[in-house]
Structure 1
């Protein structure tokens, strides 16, 4: 149940208040306090169940569960049974939420060892490798020095870009749609979605802009172009990430243009319907670009770049005849707000570049 919940990104509400959560806690404590005959496998299983289902416990017990699962994840054997155990432990750790009560600084060395060993020996499954990065991103939230380690020392951007490119090639996007209804979603697609989901919190907290981050956006564009006709959920996730990158300054606006993110969003708008969230995400993306362009320029060189960027966007819009099309969206803001609980400015000029 926990494995499927984690892969499908299903929420479990109020588990921490349940009697089952309390029973798990008691069993973990009782088993760990045994002086003889301690069942380490049982403790591991209970720790996984607790994290998979979203149990919130004491700082001490949370840290104990994490330490227990990291011990499993540090196993170096490469046989299939061990790989499965490691994957399960790391997938459980990736279910920890940002607000989880945990001693965040204590586990960085173990996480680095797991990632660095995999980079040399490729001992982890794709799901396990994605999960350890997700766990690290969660731990580093609002912890600036850990973000520095992730970006500079551990090359999160490089690894994510490589994984996105590999998974985009491996997924069979063009399989028959009729067959798609009958078969289960393939693991490659699920892992790809998980990579996309952890990029948003990374963009939010990463105050460091560098050229490599532009490379991630290029990879997201490729995912979007491959998936948009076959998996709308992945497409929406990609456009959301374009907006997050623009809003938080993770990449420069001209990099969004060069990467193809703006072209991709423009091409998608005519295909969207007001009953789907893609319309909202595309409009929100351009609204965020407009907000970024209104920020006071740092210097004359930046001002000149921004002016050039505005004109390039304007030319694209004019060339495609978007002016009347965008104005027509004015009548559906009420519908979007009512159905998707979102807020969009009624000032049309906020969506696109003010020239």
Structure 2
């Protein structure tokens, strides 16, 4: 049973105990306690994290800084770690916008930027990174300061562990900028291209840093379609995404039994979270891409395999695979035979024929077949394409005949009504025409 957000646990009690002890410690003692707090965060679930991630925490931290009871460098150390895990654990919570701490950071960034003499770049980078990790104060003016500042971190080619961590946090912070914030390409495109290309040649980034660089670029692609040539042809996204996801899925072992999860190492858990982040940017990519090559088929096939592997033990990863495949079926450049050959059609048929069906899976499955129906009905003079469509229809018929599709269709009506109400959306009744025609 899931814990309620208002419930304390041993983890949250220990975190809060250490936090309130900080004001009675010197700088070095604070650093030791913050390292302990970070270890506790590593073991928290989402509900525990939400319990400690509050306005109270940020305002108390600001008061401790004001009263010089908390070293500012240590405060940044804690804020960066909390912000990183907030992003990696996909926790949707308020930012620091309404807190006194955010006002302090805003003033410090503005004051630092106004200085005529040489600025403390590390200090400014840390401030900007903290704000973006927590998504506080994302005005256009603010982004015009912080994006170039964080991208400068890549100029340091030092491959020490500390430098790699600085780069990782900077890129993770940039990846947390929502796609609807349009950033001028002059501010970032050349730099982010250089980061990706340098890593492809020298392998200088961590897995998370590399994925974050792609995510930052991909969220801009969502609103800048002319970036597709850069992403596909210059930076070889399909090949890179396929390689990264294959290596990550092998590391995570998606078929592992549930009972082993409690003892997983932090490193392995982090790799699972990075894998989820790749799936989220693939969803964006397939929503927007217009170019097409056979490489795409191989990548989509790997998502199908990942869906099957994650079905039993990794429900959220499984759902992200489902969303990506849904976007694939919407893409006009994806043909019926592509969906058949990679096993996507078989996969969704298997899902809707399950005796118990999760409503999200049901909704996405029906939406998938509506898209298949549209592809089957598209006008074409290409006899080869017509032959492929006929082949797909026959395979669908054979599959559904085996499973007793007439009874399934009869049960669809009640299911569709429920899903439309649940998702505040509308699944067209054309879905019945599709299955009936088959």
TM-score using structure 1 length = 0.91
> In structure 2, what is the Cα distance between the partners aligned to 1:160 and 1:188?
14
> In structure 2, what is the Cα distance between the partners aligned to 1:324 and 1:189?
39
Alignment size in residue pairs: 355
Question: Which structure's CA Rg is the greater one?
Answer: 2
Q: 1:129 aligns with which of 193, 210, 230?
A: 210
Could you say which residue in structure 2 is the equivalent of 1:301? 384
Could you say which residue in structure 2 is the equivalent of 1:151? 232
Q: 1:23 to 1:291 in 2, by over 3 A?
A: farther
Task: Summarize the alignment of residues 310-329 of structure 1 with structure 2, pairs less than 5 Å apart.
Answer: 310-329=393-412
Deviation at 1:99, TM superposition (A): 1.3
Could you say which residue in structure 2 is the equivalent of 1:173? 254
Could you say which residue in structure 2 is the equivalent of 1:83? 164
Higher relative contact order (CA 8 A, sep 6+): 1
1:23 aligns with 2:98: no
Q: 1:55 to 1:250 in 2, by over 3 A?
A: farther
> In structure 2, what is the Cα distance between the partners aligned to 1:253 and 1:56?
45
Larger CA deviation: 14-23 vs 301-310:
14-23
Q: 1:273 to 1:13 in 2, by over 3 A?
A: farther
1:339 aligns with 2:422: yes
Q: 1:290 to 1:75 in 2, by over 3 A?
A: same
* Kept after mapping to 1: 8 A contact 2:95/2:134: no
Could you say which residue in structure 1 is the equivalent of 2:331? 248
> In structure 1, what is the Cα distance between the partners aligned to 2:406 and 2:101?
57
Q: 1:277 to 1:351 in 2, by over 3 A?
A: farther
SS at match of 1:344: coil
* Kept after mapping to 1: 8 A contact 2:168/2:209: yes
* Kept after mapping to 2: 8 A contact 1:210/1:251: no
> In structure 1, what is the Cα distance between the partners aligned to 2:435 and 2:320?
21
Q: 1:109 to 1:272 in 2, by over 3 A?
A: farther
Deviation at 1:259, TM superposition (A): 0.7
> In structure 2, what is the Cα distance between the partners aligned to 1:82 and 1:210?
38
1:289 aligns with 2:375: no
SS at match of 1:78: coil
> In structure 1, what is the Cα distance between the partners aligned to 2:246 and 2:221?
25
SS at match of 2:437: coil
Could you say which residue in structure 1 is the equivalent of 2:356? 273
> In structure 1, what is the Cα distance between the partners aligned to 2:255 and 2:382?
48
Query: Can you give the 5+ residue segments of structure 2 that lack an aligned partner in the other structure?
Result: 1-81
- For the aligned residue pairs, the C-alpha RMSD in angstroms reads 2.3
